[in-house]
Structure 1
Amino acid sequence: MNFILFFVHSTWITVAIAFLIPTLARSADATTPPQTQKSPSVTGSGSVQVPNSLNPNPNLLQFPTKSKEVTIQATVPISLAQALELARRNNRELQVALLELERSRSALRESQAALFPTLGVNSGITNSGNNLITSPPAGSTSSSSTSFNGSAQLNYDLYTSGSRQARIRAAEEQLRLDELDVENRSLEIRLNVTTEYYDLQQADEQVRINRSAVENAQASLRDTQAREQAGVGTRFDVLQAQVNLANAQQTLTNSLSQQEIARRRLATRLSLAQSVNISAADPVQLAGLWQPTVEQTIIQAFQNRPELQQFLAQRNISEQQRRQALSSLGPQISLASSYSLLDRFDDGVGVTDGYSVGVQANQNLFDGGAARARAAQSRANIAIAENQFANQRDQIRFDVEQFYSQLQANRDNVQTSSLALNQARESLNLARLRFQAGVGTQTEVIAAENDLTRAEGNRVAAILNYNRALANLQRSVTSRNSP
């Protein structure tokens, strides 16, 4: 059903525009999210100093074509704080999330544009005349004329049955969803960098331990060979020492490979320059203590994890999409006005103008059920988001309980492994003294060396596993929007 009401007062357009613009501006201010809201800050501290040589080439499309461009020129030791700062600056997953957030801000501004009228102008100059192919009859002349015409149109949707507000609310929720996504990715990147830094520390320590094992095996082989030359040892003891040394060297070779892999994995995470490598500068030690109980930790995780808020935002988006679908069944009322000018040059007549103002109403009486079908899809999306929320909540609780249990177990393991390490060192010293005194065997020395290597590895693993569990707990309860 369409109808147009025309008004004849020439000043009506001016009055209508003067009335509408301030009103629409106030509506836009009411709909726009408060400017005091801040986007979630990226995890990291800008005060941490990092070597400039570690920063990648600013050209994202750089494509090395020569071997020297990817050859490692230096290995730079960095701390965990420096690694986190490099991730904050350079991690490309986080940069993509920030760009998606900016895109959502622009989409919100686009949807808010519907609060204002649209105003357009067009104009043209036309020259027209008679161009006779054959000779004109006697007494006839060809003529041409030039004219100017221009018009302006003003259109505004007065009433949309809630469609306009639903689009704006959905865009606001999408912006909130992307803000939470930036926060979530920031926390995930922080956790991944921290965990991979601990992996690098463990790889470095394993190399140190295995080098020490090779040195111990070499010392045992020298002692065994000296005893054989002195006639108090046997060839069997020498062969055992040689086999033990070969095994220790093979283990060291494997640990060196794992160290290089751990370095490159972290370098890739930090998006470092092509020609540098990194090593861990921090010593292996406990990262801190966790004071809250497991129940307190679970509640904090529920309150702070952005994933839960993301599912709520997704539910709200689906609700606004449902309303938008149903709004197409309601009436749509819009204002349309125009003003035109026409001037034909050299005709002795002045400029002529005209205007029109009208209100148009539109009601969709039947759409074959399409609108209600779209609304049903949105209701299904709402139910999906609610189920995902419940599933994520349960997963968060399990994660907290799992990491809390690992934290407690590894805290006890640190104490046990420290005691075992001291005992293994003492046992190796005694085994060597017994062997040198002729009351012990080479087998006892080799067993004591292997026990020492295992005890050192167990202590390092216990400390770093504790730190990993602590990092996961801290990620679970990180205060939202914290700097």
Structure 2
Amino acid sequence: MKNTKNYRKLRSVTQFVFFLLMGSGVVAQKLTKQEAIRLALENNFGIILATNDIEVAENNKSVLNSGYLPTLSGNASAVYNRDNIEAQFANGETNVLNGAESDRYNASVNLNYTLFDGLGRFYNYKRLKEQYNLTELQARETIENTLLQLFTVYFEIARLTENNEILEETLRISQERITRANYQFDYGQNTKLDVLNAQVDVANDSINLINAKQQLLNTKRDLNLILDNELTQGFEVDTTVSFINKLQISSFMEKAMENNVRILRNQSTIKINEYDVKVSKSGYLPTVGLTGTYGWNKNNNNAAAFLATSISDGLSASVNLSWNIFDGGSTITRIKNAKISLENTEIQQRQVEQEVKRDIANALGNYENRLQVYEIQQQNVITNQNNFERSKERFKLGQITSIEFRLAQINLINAQTNKNLAKYDAKIAELQLLQLTGQLLNIEF
């Protein structure tokens, strides 16, 4: 009777723990891959900053910032005088004026336009457009890195979710086993050692599940940080994984060097440096400018002046040429430095191409290797599942010990969790390969 009471007490406690571990049964929010991408594009800090950089670059490449438009300025002034004047005329007469008042007013509109500046603004305008392209490529690289980071965490949540399901099933089986062991002990069919072994396994399985659930919650918080979104801790992710067929991978590999963002970004930098050389060379050529002015003047003179009032207005225009024949060597120095910068970026381009080729080859090898591991792990799960089912039947018949049954159970757990790890490792390797081939933003997730 004492053993029966202890068993009932233990059973109630373990059932309570099991209920807590399994959750309350509330339907959780589903976070699809597409929804995760949308949230990342809208909320991720890095992507927002990159988008703002694109807007700045777009403003800079506008014609308003090109130097091709004229400048127009307006000036106006008013002057008031109150003087004491003693005026002596040629005939010897003297005239004294106290508090003589006079005022002057003028206004003008000035137009300045550069007709020719040695093609400096022409190449600078092209440079600004290329700078915009470079900023877009930098933003694309930021988005690719963010999506790769996003799915690394997203698939880690998926892996931990499936592992939790495995551990929950393991705990359920261990619960059944402890129930069977206590009944058998009550009826004298086994020893106390079998009951204790079952209790130890239930405790270990409970601890493993508790730790796994905590790890899952922590990883979900990591995803919230990437998305900058306070999703409820109970949200679930999509655990389905599909792989791209080999023909598509081959087609992506053929154009990898044309689409890789690092190579494209360096090519854009080369173009910018080429324009820098041409802009610097414009210092050798003259500058031709056009100036136009429309002015209006009015003078109200005092009594000592020859004219009491005068009003004038008029239009004037001029063309001027400026040629800096020798500027102390500044232009020569700028050209030399610009050419060195261009040469450096060309050298970097060759280096980047070699590094990208290596990275793509490594990524392809890793991807193929992890796919093979995943296939092997799938077969390993089937083998261990069959072994566990047979061990379970033999354990019920008393043909194997609880230790042998537990070993079969642990082998199945390891096979299942290793299969999950291999599946998501292969998917992440595929995404890394797609990023290197420049196709990460062109596929359906």
1:277 to partner: Cα distance: 4.1
In 2, distance between residues paired with 1:327 and 1:430?
85
List gaps (5 residues or longer) in structure 1: 1-73, 133-137
Preserved contact between residue 80 and residue 101 of structure 2 (Cα < 8 Å): yes
265, 268, 271: which one pairs with 1:316? 271
CA deviation profile, 1:230-283 (whole Å, cap 9, x unmatched):
3343344344333333332232222112211221122222221x4634633423
Matches within 5 A, 1:420-459: 420-459=380-419
Normalised by the size of structure 1, how large is the TM-score? Answer: 0.75
1:480 shift after superposition: 9.8
Partner amino acid, structure 2, of 1:129: R
Give 2:101's match in structure 1, choosing from 115, 123, 144: 144
Greater C-alpha radius of gyration? 2
Aligned partners of 2:274 and 2:438: how far apart in 1? 29
Partner of 1:283: 239
Is the CA contact (8 Å cut-off) linking 1:111 and 1:167 kept in structure 2? no
**Other-structure match for 1:130:** 83
More helix by share: 2
Q: Which of 129, 137, 154 pairs up with 1:172?
A: 129
Partner of residue 70, structure 1: none
Offset, 1:448: 0.7
Letter matched to residue 203 of structure 2: A
Deviation at 1:354, TM superposition (A): 4.8
TM-score by length of 2: 0.81
Match of residue 266 from structure 1: 223
Q: Does 1:228 align with 2:185?
A: yes
- The alpha-carbon deviation at position 457 of structure 1 amounts to 0.9
**Which residue identity does 1:266 align to in structure 2?**
L
How big is each residue's C-alpha offset from its partner over 1:311-357, in whole Å with a ceiling of 9 and x where there is no partner? 11111111222222333343333233333221124765442235544
Preserved CA contact (<8 Å) 2:66 2:121: no
Displacement of 1:478 after TM fit? 4.7
Q: 2:346 aligns with which of 386, 392, 404?
A: 386
RMSD over aligned Cα atoms: 2.9
The amino acid of 1:108's aligned partner reads K
Report the alpha carbon displacement of residue 365 of structure 1 after superposing the two structures with TM: 4.2
Q: Which amino acid aligns with 1:95?
A: I
Q: Secondary structure at the match of 1:164?
A: helix
CA displacement at 1:427 relative to structure 2: 1.8
The equivalent position to 1:410 in structure 2, one of 370, 389, 395, is 370
Q: Is residue 66–residue 124 contact of structure 2 (8 Å, CA) maintained in 1?
A: no
**Partners of 1:224 and 1:238 within 8 A in 2:** yes
Q: Which of 324, 336, 342 in structure 2 is aligned with 1:376?
A: 336
The more displaced of 226-235 and 455-464 is 226-235
Aligned to 1:307: 262
2:201 corresponds to = 244
- Choose which of 291, 295, 298 in structure 2 pairs with 1:336: 291
Contact 1:263 1:278 in 2 (8 A): no
Higher relative contact order (CA 8 A, sep 6+): 1
Q: Out of 142, 151, 165, which is 1:185 matched to?
A: 142
Residue deviations 1:407-456 (CA, integer Å, cap 9, x gap): 33333333332332222222223223333333311211111110111111
Match of 2:162 among 189, 196, 205: 205
The one-letter code of the counterpart of 1:306 is V
Secondary structure, counterpart of 1:125 in structure 2: strand
Name the structure 1 match of 2:36: 83
Q: How many Å apart are 1:173 and its aligned residue?
A: 0.9
2:113 alignment partner in structure 1: 156
Q: Deviations over 1:119-149 (max 9, x none)?
A: 21211222221379xxxxx964312223210
Unaligned stretches of 5+ residues in structure 2: 1-26, 86-94, 302-306
